Amino acid sequence: MKQSITLSKITQLMGFGFLKPITVLFSGKPQREDFINFLKKIIVPLLSIVLFVGIWQAGASALYNKEANYKIEKALADQGQVAADEMKACIASGEISCQPNTLPSPAQVWTSFKTLIKDHKVISADKLAFKEKTAAMNAKRVAAGKDPITYTGRPSFVDQIVTSLKTVFAGFLLALLIAVPIGIVIGLSETLRSSFNWLIQIFKPVSPVVWLLLVFMIVKTLTKDSNSDSAFIISFISVGLCAMWATLVNTAMGVSSVDKDYINVAKVLKLGPMQKVFKVILPSSLPLIFTGLRITLSVAWMVLIAIELLAQSPGLGSFVWEEFQNGAIDSNSKIIVAMFIIGIIGFLLDRIMLTIQNMVSFNKNEGV
């Protein structure tokens, strides 16, 4: 059963070990224990989801009733019995204008999710049409040395996700490019390590908001007379600066704690400094570097939402903020949709990093 072996190995490597009972059930002859395993690892977690949705539903309807009663009482106090009855009827009829605005129910969130997807389809069809329409004209404009006309319509929810992902990767890359080299240099020298320690210790706990403001001060001046996308630049740099510390600290630690035996081998062989770093020190600190990078990516994703929200740069953060400001009837449920999407993407990013981390760590018997 070679196929199932590789399948289970991949799920294992990805940290999706919890899927194993399923792969076992569908590969070969399942045993009694496999069914018990299936029950434990699949059925019970599924029940937990049902329980979660149930509590959510109960909480949402309790909040709904509370908000509705409050509205009716307010109408009674302000305008008398007739207005209160009208309000009651209005709420019961499901009319949008008088719906209590509170925590949305699971069903409402699901509906909003579908709405957002539909909205995305409409917008992307629109975009495609625009592109076809302007293709010939843009070609002429470019030939004439003018800027092509670009689509300036509202971005869809999916577009926002893509923007956020771009920003987080740019920030992550920046963090990597800054933190890994500096971490290596600091890790190599005891003196540098102790002299830069204060800087790291002070800047590490600084809140994303402050980083954003700092970056804003600098980038605003630097990009004054260029027409580059300063909101994007500001948010990705802030994300990078907030998130890089874990990588910096882990890299320095990994480099400074290379097994003494390896260092002795390098000394006996008289490896040059470059060889020593690239052949011995870096490979042996890779696992720790990747641990740092994994933390960096998850921190980057977490602060990204807050930073986008504050910097007014497009993405999931500003989506959430706009919906909150908007106050439309389905805004709250759209915010909850965004919450789930943010969580799921964060989870997937972490899994990807975990997979890479497992691949580079040499403490496993892989590659045999």
Partner 1 sequence: METLSTNTETIISENGIQYPSKVMLDLHNLKKVYPTPKGDYVVLEDLNLQIMKEEFITIIGHSGCGKTTMLSMIAGLNPISGGNIAVLGNPVKGPGPDRGVIFQSPSLMPWMTALENVLLGVNQVFPHASKKERKDIAKYYLHKVGLDGSFDKKAIALSQGMQQRVGIARAFAIKPKVLLLDEPFGMLDSLTRGELQDILIEIWNKEKITAVMITHDVDEAIFLADRVVMMTSGPKAKIGDILNIDFERPRTRKSVLEHNDYYEYRKHLIDFLEH
Residue 142 or 269 with smaller CB distance to partner 1: 269
Beta carbons of 248 and 200 less than 8 angstroms apart: yes
Please work out the total of residues on this chain that contact partner 1, with binding judged by CB under 8 A: 22
The least distance separating partner 1 from the CB of residue 283, rounded to whole angstroms, comes to 5
308 in Cβ contact with 238 (< 8 Å): no
Residues 335-364 that bind partner 1 (CB under 8 A): 362-364
Residues 276-305 that bind partner 1 (CB under 8 A): 279-280, 283-284, 286
- Cα–Cα dist 110/170, whole Å: 31
- Judged by beta carbon, residue 54 or residue 273, the one nearer partner 1 is 273
Please pick, from the candidates 9, 114, 267, 351, the single residue that binds partner 1 as defined by CB under 8 A.
267
Q: 320: closest CA among 338, 302, 345, 307? A: 338
String marking each residue 220-259 x if it binds partner 1 according to CB under 8 A? ---------------------------------------x
Task: Answer whether 186's CB lies under 8 Å from 193's CB.
Answer: yes
Query: How many CA atoms lie within 13 Å of 289's alpha carbon, on the beta-carbon side?
Result: 25
* 368 forms part of the interface with partner 1 (CB under 8 A): yes
Sequence-separated (6 or more) residues with CB below 8 Å from residue 201: none
Task: Determine the interface stretch with partner 1 among 34-42, 211-219, 270-278, 323-331 (rule: CB under 8 A).
Answer: 270-278
Q: How far is the CB of 291 from partner 1 (least distance, A)?
A: 16
State the CB neighbour count (10 A cutoff) for residue 119: 16
Shortest spacing between CB 10 and partner 1, in angstroms: 20
Q: Looking at beta carbons only, is 199 or 268 nearer to partner 1?
A: 268
CA distances from 44 to 25, 39, 233, 253 (A): 16, 6, 45, 40
* Token output for 315: 């993405």
**Torsion, Cα of 75, 80, 86, 90 (10° steps):** 10
| Chosen residue from 2, 32, 154, 270 binding partner 1 by CB under 8 A | 270
Q: Which of 262, 321, 322, 358 binds partner 1 (CB under 8 A)?
A: 262
Residue closer to partner 1 by CB (options 43, 269) is 269
Please list every residue from 94 through 153 that binds partner 1, using CB under 8 A.
Answer: none
Distance CA 200, CA 125 (A): 49
Nearer Cβ to partner 1 (229/366): 366
- Are the C-beta atoms of residues 317 and 308 closer than 8 Å to each other? yes
CA–CA distance, 176 with 296 (Å, rounded to integer)? 9
Instruction: Supply the minimum distance, in Å, between the C-beta of residue 366 and partner 1.
Output: 8
Distance CA 37, CA 39 (A): 5
Binding mask 67-96 for partner 1 (x = CB under 8 A): ------------------------------
Applying CB under 8 A, the residues found at the interface with partner 1 are 259, 261-262, 264-265, 267-271, 275, 279-280, 283-284, 286, 362-365, 367-368
